[in-house]
Amino acid sequence: MDLSKIDNPSLLKEMNTKQLEELAEDMRQFLIGNLAATGGHLGANLGVVELTLALHKVYTSPQDRLLWDVGHQSYIHKILTGRGNQFSTLRKYRGLCGFPKRIESEHDIWETGHSSTSLSAAMGMAIARDLKNENHSILPVIGDGALTGGMALEALNHIGHEKKSVTVILNDNEMSIAKNVGALHGALGRMRSAGKYNRAKDDLEWLLKKIPAVGGRIAQAAERLKDSMKYFVVPGMFFEELGFTYYGPVDGHDFEDLLENLNYAKKTEGPVIVHVMTQKGKGYHPAESDVKDKWHGVGPYKIESGEKIKPSSAPPAWSSVISETLRREARTDDRVVAVTPAMILGSKLEKFGEEFPDRLYDVGIAEQHATTLSAGLATQGMKPFLAIYSTFLQRGYDQVIHDVARQNLNVIFGIDRAGLVGADGETHQGVFDISFLRSVPNMVISMPKDENEAQHLVHTAVKYDDGPIAIRYPRGNAEGVDTDEELHTIPIGSWEILKDGKDGVILTFGTTIKMALEASKKLEEEGISICVVNARFMKPLDNSMLHDLMKKDIPVLTIEEAVLQGGFGSSVLEFAAEEGYRSQWIKRMGVPDRFIEHGSVPELWAEIGLTEEKIIENLKEMIPTKQQRA
């Protein structure tokens, strides 16, 4: 079947099991072929092919509401809803989004990039449906990894308490981004091994009622026995205790099993859980056999071998530079402990865990818990390093303020994926952390210009004893510079002048230093002398250097790959206002007040005007002519 020509999932309604199986195979080959060129979330989507087809066969979207938790597993849904012809543009600039997107289709009713939100949204939709006296199904599809998130558990509790008709599809592949952890994961494992019980208990009730004359009374009397049987067959009965009717485990790659149970769930009133077991990477051997889940999100690859297409001599990843320095620190400081919310692989902590297995804690998709756990460690004199993506730190913001900063605890925040991240788009852009952390008392915020400075900042953070400290670092590879053998501390709040100049000054840090230096070099060729400062601490500022620069009464341009509202440039303006300097000679460049969609980082830089050309243009506008100076 030509999948690019599908415009509506209604074609599934008349398909038999054999036809569905053939379509599932076509879907897998389509994904494997297309993602080899574009990259994307391959493993998760291969795992939900049959489940997605079955959901769209039994239910009718968009009348019935399908919500995809995290959303990276919605590719089959996108193909079925008329977007197969756009897959060559997947995750590319102005192309198809890698997550559900409301403006793309009426079938995308909830946008997700962070996990564990679908159940709360589904509950809100269920309340609205009932208030409006409407009649449709609401089906959040949530993975067992996302179910470890606090929001998901809060929503389960509320849905069960209110007895709302919400059908939760639990996509159980025993993985989140990496292997799942925790007691809930263990409970689901026991459910998997226990087998089905729902059909058995209903068959028992049917048989008892068939007994002439007394059958009804016996069935009634056996109600307690039937309920007790649940505790025997499925240990814990976690979901039923919360008020849900539980169906499963269901083979997520068997259409007959899926369709039977989904139709059964469709007829059930109140909250329902359909526990579906799937295999991440199903149908593609390199992804199926991937025990470390390196096929969760991939770049381009060779279809035949699964070999990733990467530059052969790239510098180490920023995450590797940070984690390897942390491992080096841990060898000489027993207080160093690493914590991560399900990001051991993404934050490159595997080697740390191999060397220090009792000093690495993966808490699952639970950012709030990870933050306060780190605070608890700090109260006992440990040196917790919380490795967390910028976009996920947003989920632990109250804990940063209330549990860490307010108590002035020595937690080191390793803020990975800081800045624009590219293909994952607006849900993952790490552009807010400077703004939301800068307002928090006791917080230190830093960002290295290269891997050498990065290792010294990690060492500085470990030696720092006066409260929380954050080190931001971007996605991708570092600069490829030589690194010092001996580590040293960098004075907190200190900046460095990378290039001197007398006509104007650029204050910047991290990823934008290179473009600032290039712009300065080009202006030098035109006789314009620009000072470039590595403002490696966004908080506290280097007040001494700022005084020296502003006393020269020359234009100041701040550049940051982060939001302008409340960001680094704002702090420089605040300094100028408080100290009586001319703020009209200060201009800011950064991320404007809107969400930035997906595309390559250079394309996004060009879109928001974060380029060498724009730097040169801004400085030329700011610097007075010779006649004006005279």
Q: What residues are labeled active site?
A: 280, 367, 395
For 288, the token pair is: 């199926």
Q: 330 with 346: CB under 8 angstroms?
A: no
3-state helix, strand, coil in the chain (%, to 5): 45, 15, 40
Q: 388 with 564: CB under 8 angstroms?
A: no
In whole angstroms, give the CA distance from residue 581 to residue 317. Answer: 40
Q: Tell me the three state secondary structure of residue 206.
A: helix
Backbone angles phi, psi at 612, to 5 degrees: -55, -45
Residue 83 per-residue DSSP state:
I
In whole angstroms, give the CA distance from residue 238 to residue 242. Answer: 7
CA 593 to chain centre: 21
Adjacency order of strands within the sheet including 530-534? 496-499, 530-534, 504-508, 556-563, 586-591
Reported as half-sphere exposure (CB side, CA atoms, 13 A), residue 293 has a value of 21
CB atoms within 10 A of CB 214: 10
In whole angstroms, give the CA distance from residue 471 to residue 461. Answer: 8
* Look-up of token digits 């999948």: 3
Q: Which amino acid is at 161?
A: H
Nearest to 280 by CA among 174, 203, 358: 174
* Look-up of token digits 């209330």: 402
For 101, the token pair is: 């997107």
For 465, the token pair is: 């004893």
Adjacency order of strands within the sheet including 412-416? 360-362, 336-340, 383-389, 412-416, 469-472, 444-446, 537-539
In whole angstroms, give the CA distance from residue 139 to residue 216. Answer: 34
Backbone angles phi, psi at 276, to 5 degrees: -110, 125
Exposure of 527 by Cβ count < 10 A (0-12 exposed, 13-18 middle, 19+ buried)?
exposed
Nearest to 270 by CA among 239, 228, 248, 249: 239
User: CB neighbours of 510 closer than 8 A, spacing ≥ 6?
Assistant: 418, 419, 447, 448, 449, 472, 473, 474, 561
